[in-house]
Amino acid sequence: MSESSEPAGFPTQEQQPPGLTEPMSPVPDHGEHSYVGHGRMTGLRAMITGGDSGIGRAVAIAYAREGADVVIVHLPEEQPDADETLRWVERAGRDGFSIAADLRSVEACRSVIAAAVEQLGGLDVLVNNAGFHYTRDGRGTIDGLEPELVERVIHTNLTAALWLTQAALPHLDPGACIINTSSIQAYAPSGHMIDYAGTKAAINAITAALAEQLGPRGIRVNAVAPGPIWTPLQPATRSADEVSSFGTSSPLGRAGQPAEVAPAYVYLASPLEASYVSGSIVGVTGGLPTF
């Protein structure tokens, strides 16, 4: 974690999407050596999309240490990251499974839910966390938008969450919950992330709408809105210049680590602590306002 005397940005670096953890400098902190579980999720069964790396990996480690079994979903080229996450889940004494799938199609979303339910013997917590943006060479400005990238952003961030939720619902009993990953971009949209910001604002609206529809079934729906967090998504999709100053303009003066975001997902998933929390969006932003 950064000390105030150290430079707050990151060494110049770029990867190709979707990006991997090991080549990052520094390697992010997912709570491997710090997160302490307190039995908040004992016996629960959770599926986390994008659980191979970044925020999703930190959530997987925290959920396992809280007593949950975990399925993580990732892209095929992220198998090394998925394997590493599973090692931490298993070290916590819980069952962990990984599913390689591209969630941009409704068919993939349906078959991933079916596989996860089979592996876990049911489902209690669905974390819709897979996400994508691309800002290199002005690709996220209105002049630079390209159909293929815009469709990738929309189908990864938005439609996958809808189809996964729809497919999961028949398996969710009262007491289950859904947690979506929003973003500070839903509140303070950047001119160079137009398509991405739009999907995250939509995630907020969908979270509220689902909370209304599913409340009567006893299912809670919430979201976490992270600020700038150091994950493979950043060096894989931003220019080297953007990476070097990433997070420095937040009030806390630095990017956050995935380990600093995961506790919000634990709180929202905890049947005891968050039993009356639904339709909420929890900001973890280093001081950037989420209202």
Tell the burial category of 251 from Cβ atoms under 10 Å away from its Cβ (0-12, 13-18, 19+): exposed
Residue nearest to Mg ion (CB): 53
Q: Which of 104, 122, 208, 242 binds ligand NAD (CB under 6 A)?
A: 104
Name the token pair of 27.
């390697």
Pick one of ligand NAD, Mg ion, none as the site partner of residue 124 (Cβ within 5 to 8 A by kind).
none
* 19 versus 37: smaller Cβ distance to ligand NAD: 19
Strand partners, 280: none
Q: Which stretch binds ligand NAD (CB under 6 A): 136-144, 166-174, 211-219, 230-238?
A: 230-238
The position carrying tokens 């729809």 is 166
Residue 177, beta-bridge partner list: 125, 220
Task: Choose, by CB under 5 A, the member of 28, 46, 49, 53 that binds Mg ion.
Answer: 53
Stretch that binds Mg ion, among 8-16, 70-78, 148-156, 198-206 (CB under 5 A): 70-78
Q: Please give the distance of CA 258 from its chain centroid, rounded to a whole number.
A: 9
Identity of the residue numbered 104: R
With respect to ligand NAD, which residue has the nearer C-beta, 54 or 198?
Answer: 54
Query: What phi and psi values does residue 56 have, to the nearest 5 degrees?
Result: -60, -40
Asked if residue 55 binds ligand NAD (CB under 6 A), the reply is yes
Of 201 and 271, nearer to ligand NAD (C-beta) is: 201
Compute CA distances 127 → 27, 47, 113, 224, 283, whole Å. 23, 6, 12, 10, 16
User: Does 159 interact with ligand NAD (rule: CB under 6 A)?
Assistant: no
- Does 226 engage in binding with ligand NAD (CB under 6 A)? yes
Inter-residue contact 84 to 21 (CB < 8 Å): yes
276 tagged catalytic: no
Closer residue to ligand NAD in complex, CB, 26/93: 26
Cα–Cα distance between 49 and 69 in angstroms, integer?
Answer: 14
Q: Which of 56, 96, 198, 283 binds ligand NAD (CB under 6 A)?
A: 56
Q: If contact means CB under 5 to 8 A according to the sort of partner, which of ligand NAD, Mg ion, none does residue 231 touch?
A: ligand NAD
- Helix pair angle (258-269, 54-65), 10° resolution: 50
Residue 222: CB atoms within 10 A of its CB come to: 25
Name the burial class of residue 107, with classes exposed (0-12), middle (13-18) and buried (19+) by CB atoms within 10 angstroms of its CB.
exposed
For ligand NAD, give the closer residue by CB, 15 or 271.
Answer: 15
Residue ranges that bind Mg ion, judged by CB under 5 A: 52-53, 78
Catalytic annotation, residues: 196
Residue ranges that bind ligand NAD, judged by CB under 6 A: 18-19, 49-50, 52-56, 74-75, 78, 102-104, 129-132, 156, 181, 183, 226, 228-229, 231-234
